[in-house]
């Protein structure tokens, strides 16, 4: 058996491709059982910057094709279009990659604080969908332990920056002091919660939260002294907000026409839109509407570069921890081959014994 990784990330694919193969939480509930039927024991890690599938297989070449066909079929894409953006790793290399991901060493923003929880959630989602077998369970628990150690024992978590915080920092850079601004936050899930906390930390003047499930918006608003409004009232608040930040799993939540109509009612008042969703929540063509400044997750590169310089010194210590934890997993993984051989020898000896007894 081999550990196989098939995936794509910000290192291999543009946002336009990544958003088309991302899995929402609800999609995972449907996709994981379907993937397991085709590729065996599997875990999907899907975040704003990556979609990766980990599986165990006796035939990596065949299973790579199976995973490609599954991704393309599920998301209704041409396999030949998707294939150039995929990377594959096997065994120790696949394990090392996951350990680096959990530690924040392969992130768009080095050391970003959200990814460890996302790796943990990927394991939980697979466990809920089907019983994860020992090899993948052990692999992911090892990666999570490695990620925790990196954050506890190195400076890579100092001044920790998540994608959500980076988005708010970009708003600050472009607009200055947030104390005088009214921000409309669309989305009250985990990403929305992180954005809301970042806004409060940045000293936002007025914060309005809306969400398809109004109860979640109310809960978040109560927690952070914000205002919760019904989702159907969102167009009215588009008319008055200085900044709109979206952080949901819904593609094209705001169309060009939605933005255009709002701008007509705003009497030329500029609107700053920060789209942190993957897939994108706001139609990209909205950037062409007069007086609209639209940014998406890919526009955080300048913030990511600053963060990289601050954390490069800590990356070496983090890599050492990853290699230490990886060595523990690799030792266990390689021992499984010997265990399998011993079991096979025991079975053969038992078969011979039974035949002799019968004779």
- The residues that are catalytic are 48
* 329 contact partners, CB below 8 Å, separation of at least 6: 95, 99, 138, 139, 142
Pairing of strands 50-57, 42-47: antiparallel
What is the three-class DSSP state of 183?
strand
Residue 254 carries which DSSP code? B
What is the distance of C-alpha 270 from the center of its chain?
31
CA neighbor of 217 nearest in space, from 240, 205, 233: 233
Contact predicate 245/195, CB 8 Å: yes
Q: Which of 73, 61, 9 is nearest to 37 (CA)?
A: 73
Rg of the chain on CA atoms, in Å: 24
Contact between 299 and 305 (Cβ < 8 Å): no
User: In sequence order, what are the residues at sequence separation of 6 or more whose Cβ sits closer than 8 angstroms to the Cβ of residue 334?
Assistant: none
> What angle is formed at CA 45 by the lines to CA 41 and CA 46, rounded to 5 degrees?
135
- CA–CA dist 203, 37 (Å, integer): 50
């Amino acid at each position: 058996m081999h550990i196989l990784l098939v995936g794509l990330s910000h290192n291999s694919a543009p946002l336009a491709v990544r958003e088309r193969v991302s899995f929402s939480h609800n999609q995972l509930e449907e996709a994981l059982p379907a993937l397991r039927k085709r590729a065996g024991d599997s875990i999907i890690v899907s975040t704003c910057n990556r979609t990766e599938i980990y599986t165990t297989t006796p035939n990596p070449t065949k299973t790579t094709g199976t995973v490609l066909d599954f991704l393309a079929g599920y998301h209704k894409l041409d396999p030949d279009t998707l294939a150039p953006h995929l990377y594959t790793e096997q065994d120790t290399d696949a394990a090392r990659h996951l350990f680096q991901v959990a530690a924040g060493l392969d992130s768009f923003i080095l050391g970003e604080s959200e990814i460890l929880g996302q790796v943990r959630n990927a394991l939980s989602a697979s466990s809920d969908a089907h019983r994860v077998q020992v090899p993948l369970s052990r692999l992911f628990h090892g990666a999570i332990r490695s990620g925790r150690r990196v954050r506890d024992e190195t400076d890579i978590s100092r001044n920790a920056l998540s994608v959500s915080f980076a988005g708010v920092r970009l708003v600050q850079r472009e607009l200055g002091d947030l104390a005088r601004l009214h921000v409309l936050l669309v989305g009250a899930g985990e990403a929305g919660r992180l954005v809301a906390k970042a806004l409060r930390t940045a000293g936002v003047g007025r914060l309005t939260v809306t969400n398809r499930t109004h109860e979640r918006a109310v809960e978040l608003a109560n927690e952070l002294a914000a205002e919760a409004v019904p989702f159907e009232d969102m167009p009215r608040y588009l008319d008055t907000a200085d900044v709109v930040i979206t952080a949901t799993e819904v593609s094209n939540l705001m169309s060009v026409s939605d933005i255009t109509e709002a701008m007509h009612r705003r009497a030329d008042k500029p609107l700053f839109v920060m789209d942190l969703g993957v897939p994108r929540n706001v139609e990209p063509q909205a950037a062409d509407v007069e007086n609209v400044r639209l940014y998406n997750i890919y526009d955080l590169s300048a913030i990511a570069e600053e963060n990289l310089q601050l954390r490069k010194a800590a990356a070496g210590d983090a890599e050492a921890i990853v290699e230490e934890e990886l060595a523990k997993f690799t030792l266990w993984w390689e021992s499984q081959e010997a265990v399998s051989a011993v079991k096979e020898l025991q079975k053969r000896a038992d078969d011979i014994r039974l035949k002799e007894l019968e004779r």
